[in-house]
Amino acid sequence: MTTSLRSTLDFLLYDWLQAESLNARERFADHSRETFDAVLDTCERIAREKYAPFNRTVDTQEPQFDGERVILPQCTHDARQAFADSGMLSAAQDYALGGMQLPYVVESAANSFFGCASISIGSNLLTTGNANAILVYGTPLQQQVFAANEFNGRWAGTMCLSEPQAGSSLSDITTRAEADGADFEVDPLGPRYRLRGNKMWISSGDHELTENIVHLVLAKIPGPDGKLVPGVKGISLFIVPKKLVDTDGHLTGERNDVALAGLNHKLGWRGTTNTLLNFGEGRYPVRGGAGAIGYLVGRPGEGLRCMFHMMNEARIAIGMAATTLGLAGYYASLDYARTRLQGRPVQGSTSAAGSAGKDASQPPVPLIRHADIKRMLLAQKSYCEGALALNLYCARLVDEGRTGEPQAAQDARLLLEVLTPIAKSWPSEFCLEANSLAIQIHGGYGYTRDFPVEQYWRDNRLNMIHEGTHGIQAADLLGRKVVMQGGAGLQLLGRTIGATIAQARKHPELAAWADQLAQALQDVGEATQAAWATGNPTEALANAVPYMQAFGHTVLAWMWLDVACSVLARDATLSIAASAGRMGAARYFYHFELPRIGAWLQVVRQRDLTCAALDEDAF
């Protein structure tokens, strides 16, 4: 597994994205190809030694709650410690925070080894995302006390949004935050509140892996009448530590009023604790009463804006998680197809009876000799390696947004806004399909636990719901991202794709694909206008998911065309097997996948109301 992944990462990082060129920038001046490779080597080794051997262990030995504490297998503790010791929690952070000041694209590439090895051992992306949000919106002391201790591995972090009655509808949350005493505003750790409410589906919400857990919690501050403000505008963000701390980051010995009500047992990601948390129910009274103590982050009423910094980061990370699970299934089914002997190839012409002839006296051949097996392998390769390219491209945009020249940085941030729903949702759908194909290649063995592909599918099925469902991402894309700023983001994407098309037309063998992508881009633009022709959101968004599927396929076709340009620049003769494989995957995507967008866009253009208009009783 790691050999194939490493060679793919090396090509995408160095030959395609030119990651070494970032070292000319002041922030990354201490780095070189050698330091990047050392990070990749370290993560590859830890993933191979501490994660991969225990992927099945954490699937079968699920977290247990004994009424006081969560019990996890020892391998989870060991893997989490190895990850923290590697420095990867703060890989992209400033030296002053104990970070390595790595480019985010290198951090993302290095973390892909862990996703491939075992996605559900730990949930380090939440800790990093939590700390990053505090870095952006927290006070200097909040950054020093909470973010720094998450980056150094002492503490872990969570994201507490959903509630049992609200799910994805954050405007309906009912967790309350009330000022804690007359001096609440002068607490050095931030304005101090008491929180009461329940949060559901909180990954890593309780465990004994770290000294403390820092919850970032969305809650509403009641108005003067004691009532909660309706909608999302009343939502604020709070730091709620499991154990209270002082201004030096030391534990005070006080348990905060945060109680684990129970563990959710999911289809996949079974190695990660998933919890229902009760805040302020009085099980752990603190400082004289019930109510979980929390410290306001940012300004009142701006909690969702603050949390979205973490959510967007998590969405890209979920896209990468879906991608790496797809790749893990692809590598497993490729190995199986090469070693499993089954069937005999069709020989000669069709017989008079109409069936192709097979010579039963010949020995069976490996599965990979059959055309339909190659079809399924190519589909997986085109989905998963294409998604990997997309996710690394988005990570490279993060670096450009942080360190590029002003105009380039502004463009990178806008492009990332448009691409984030695709980076999260496209891999979640199509790398899951890749996992399904991996099961198919294994035949009857595929859905037994003797082989890992059924677990990869179960783990990946969660990603279409993680960090905003498919429908939410689609509504965000068509309802906001492509129309914001007068369509500036969509126009920028069009120009960026157009530059790739122009480059591809310099290669005769890519000209037809370039024309095909240009037509797809035009079709997406026309469908976008047609969807909004009446200005009626109900009509425009009725087919937001088919729109996102077509949009995503167009973006992935762009990724493959851009990659193909790099392949030919490096190996014009396609003498290297890996080069031929990448071109084969690109050809598959253009011949088999991109033509699918016509049906998706048809219902968007027509503002088809088949789904939206059907009366609920008709179901």
Q: Quickly state the pLDDT bin for 352 (edges 50, 70, 90).
A: very low
pTM metric for this prediction: 0.96
Which sign, positive or negative, has the C-alpha torsion 604, 610, 616, 619?
Answer: negative
Q: Quickly state the pLDDT bin for 453 (edges 50, 70, 90).
A: very high
3-state secondary structure of 446: helix
Q: Quickly state the pLDDT bin for 359 (edges 50, 70, 90).
A: confident
- Residue 347, pLDDT above cutoff 80: no
- Residue 460, pLDDT above cutoff 60: yes
DSSP states of 424-440 as a string?
HHHHHHHHHHHHHHHHH
Percent residues over pLDDT 90 in the chain:
91
- Residue 385, pLDDT above cutoff 90: yes
The phi and psi torsions of 588 (rounded to 5 degrees) equal: -60, -45
The rounded mean pLDDT for the chain is 95
Does residue 275 contact residue 256 with C-beta atoms inside 8 Å? no
pLDDT (0 to 100) of residue 379: 98
Percent residues over pLDDT 70 in the chain:
98
Does residue 531 contact residue 540 with C-beta atoms inside 8 Å? yes
Does residue 481 contact residue 357 with C-beta atoms inside 8 Å? no
Average pLDDT over residues 30-39: 98
Lowest mean pLDDT among 34-48, 57-71, 221-235, 421-435: 221-235
Each residue's pLDDT tens digit, 13-33 = 999 999 999 999 999 999 999
pLDDT (0 to 100) of residue 502: 98
Lowest mean pLDDT among 132-141, 164-173, 179-188, 289-298: 164-173
Residues counted in the chain: 619
Nearest one of 478, 471, 457, 605 to 531, comparing CA atoms: 605
**H helix and E strand count, the chain:** 20, 14
Average pLDDT over residues 529-534: 98
CA distances from 122 to 58, 102, 109, 239, 312 (A): 10, 22, 18, 21, 20
Average pLDDT over residues 413-437: 98
In sequence order, what are the residues at sequence separation of 6 or more whose Cβ sits closer than 8 angstroms to the Cβ of residue 118? 47, 51, 52, 54, 55, 58, 79, 271
> Active-site residues: which are they?
467
Q: Quickly state the pLDDT bin for 285 (edges 50, 70, 90).
A: very high
pLDDT (0 to 100) of residue 288: 92
Each residue's pLDDT tens digit, 301-329 = 999 989 888 788 889 899 999 999 999 99
3-state secondary structure of 179: strand
